[in-house]
């Protein structure tokens, strides 16, 4: 079985392929700010889209996309704000979550657009 980092990379590769297939332009992967990281930064038309990818081998403890808890959302928003300032982006931003289950020879991908809102 793949270790945690390898599993995450596999999931991010699958998520990127999915996003490209539906017309997103990938700007960055694994963009760091301090200790925080954004998995995928993309454009969907005029929208800047920050995509968090969660990959699991089983849904025994729930769907992977449900693992994005409030503390993680706060870190994503904080890091996205740093990216927006870095890139001098002036448009609308959206937060998507992609949950991926890899197991039993199957891949199940669930893409939740506008999964959460930035709280000020």
In this predicted structure, the answer to whether residue 33 has a pLDDT above a threshold of 90 is yes
Among residues 108, 114, 120, 97, the alpha carbon closest in space to that of 38 is found at 97
Tell me which DSSP letter residue 24 carries.
P
* Phi/psi at 46 (5° precision): -85, -10
In this predicted structure, the answer to whether residue 1 has a pLDDT above a threshold of 50 is no
pLDDT at 62: 73
Say how far apart CA 92 and CA 112 lie, in whole Å: 17
Determine the 3-state secondary structure of 94 from DSSP: strand
**CB-based burial label for 118 (10 Å; 0-12, 13-18, 19+):** middle
- Across 4-8, 48-52, 114-118, least confident range: 4-8
Q: Does domain 4-116 have CATH number 3.40.1350.10?
A: yes
Q: Give residue 66's pLDDT band: very low, low, confident or very high (50, 70, 90).
A: confident
In this predicted structure, the answer to whether residue 54 has a pLDDT above a threshold of 70 is yes
DSSP bridge partners of 74: none
pLDDT at 2: 55
Helices assigned H by DSSP within 22-95: 70-87
- Region class of 34: left (phi > 0), else alpha (psi between -120 and 50), else beta: left
Domain ranges of the chain: 4-116
Among residues 79, 22, 21, the alpha carbon closest in space to that of 50 is found at 79
């Amino acid at each position: 079985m793949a270790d945690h980092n390898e599993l995450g990379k596999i999931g991010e590769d699958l998520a990127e392929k999915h996003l490209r297939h539906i017309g997103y332009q990938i700007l960055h992967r694994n963009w760091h700010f301090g200790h925080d990281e954004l998995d995928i930064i993309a454009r969907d038309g005029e929208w800047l889209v920050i995509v968090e990818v969660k990959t699991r081998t089983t849904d025994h403890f729930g769907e992977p996309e449900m693992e994005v808890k409030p503390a993680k959302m706060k870190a994503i928003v904080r890091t996205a704000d740093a990216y927006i300032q870095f890139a001098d982006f002036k448009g609308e931003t959206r937060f998507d979550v992609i949950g991926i289950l890899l197991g039993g020879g199957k891949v199940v991908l669930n893409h939740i657009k506008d999964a959460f809102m930035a709280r000020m």
